[in-house]
């Protein structure tokens, strides 16, 4: 009876621990966050920029923007991102007239869910909300031009029936630093004169010669010791 009571207590304890662990995982689940991905220029000098929502499972609606450097880029077009299209998420996006800001109004009839469909996959880990195509206006300025994304007026997005605030993010290109290698000077050639009466080299270093001499000395001493023992 005592063993059965102990077993029940252990089982109850394990169940409680499992529930606590589950609650902790839910509490520390990754929250949605914005990100920007900038592609490489194509042969037409066009660059595609994706506005991404990380951990987007449960997204229902929201308003987003992308700011760009008008001195470096010219707006070409904007459209719903691949994940938005594949998840049947409605996206209305365009350039705000007279500005360097592209906005996107997003709404899903239900909630965004992941899908591994071969034809229409939905990546909720890196959910592409909308994609903007730019033309490079100034290649030099484009190397350092930044992009900024956020929610319109800082308003929260609707995610899993709750308001979620998203921090604005900035994409800043990495500028490679070029450093000049120090000039090298050629050392003048040196000649050495072999002193008269010098001992020719035998192919052994001084350390090797010393070791050889020591071994030879030990061998002679050992031979002498053996001879002495035989005489006795």
pLDDT of residue 222: 46
| Residues 200-231 pLDDT 10s | 444 444 444 444 444 444 444 444 444 444 45
CA-nearest of 34, 230, 224 to 147 is 34
Q: CA dist 150 to 56, 72, 78, 101, 177, Å? A: 15, 20, 16, 11, 30
pTM of this structure: 0.67
- In the DSSP assignment, the letter for residue 122 is B
Q: Regarding beta strands 157-159 and 101-107, do their DSSP bridges make them parallel or antiparallel, or are they unpaired?
A: unpaired
With contact defined as beta carbons under 8 Å apart, do 71 and 137 qualify?
A: yes
CA-nearest of 42, 79, 49, 85 to 67 is 49
**Domain 30-160: CATH class, spelled out:** mainly beta
pLDDT of residue 21: 46
| Whole-number average pLDDT of the chain | 80
pLDDT of residue 183: 60
Helix, strand or coil for residue 125?
A: coil
Q: What is the Cα–Cα distance from 205 to 136, expressed in whole angstroms?
A: 67
Mean pLDDT on 186-193: 57
Q: Could you tell me which residue, 187 or 157, shows the higher pLDDT? A: 157
Mean pLDDT on 166-190: 74
| Residues 105-150 pLDDT 10s | 999 999 999 999 999 999 999 999 999 999 999 999 999 999 999 9
CA-nearest of 127, 35, 33, 38 to 85 is 127
pLDDT of residue 42: 96
């Amino acid at each position: 009876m005592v063993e059965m009571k102990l077993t029940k207590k252990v089982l109850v304890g394990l169940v409680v621990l499992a529930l606590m662990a589950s609650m902790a995982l839910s509490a520390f689940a990754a929250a949605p966050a914005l990100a920007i991905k900038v592609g490489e220029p194509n042969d037409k000098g066009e660059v595609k920029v994706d506005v991404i929502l990380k951990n987007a499972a449960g997204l229902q609606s929201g308003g987003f923007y992308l700011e760009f450097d008008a001195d470096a880029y010219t707006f070409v077009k904007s459209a719903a991102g691949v994940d938005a299209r594949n998840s049947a998420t409605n996206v209305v996006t365009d350039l705000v007239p007279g500005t360097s800001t592209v906005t996107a109004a997003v709404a899903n009839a239900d909630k965004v869910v992941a899908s591994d469909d071969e034809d229409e996959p939905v990546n909720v880990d890196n959910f592409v909300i909308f994609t903007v195509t730019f033309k490079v206006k100034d290649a030099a300025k484009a190397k350092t031009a930044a992009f900024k994304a956020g929610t319109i007026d800082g308003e929260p997005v609707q995610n899993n029936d709750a308001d979620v605030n998203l921090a604005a993010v900035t994409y800043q290109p990495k500028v490679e630093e070029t450093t000049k290698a120090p000039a090298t000077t050629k050392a003048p050639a040196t000649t050495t004169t072999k002193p008269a009466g010098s001992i020719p080299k035998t192919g052994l270093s001084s350390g090797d010669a010393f070791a050889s001499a020591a071994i030879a000395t030990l061998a002679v001493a050992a031979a002498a010791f053996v001879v002495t023992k035989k005489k006795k």
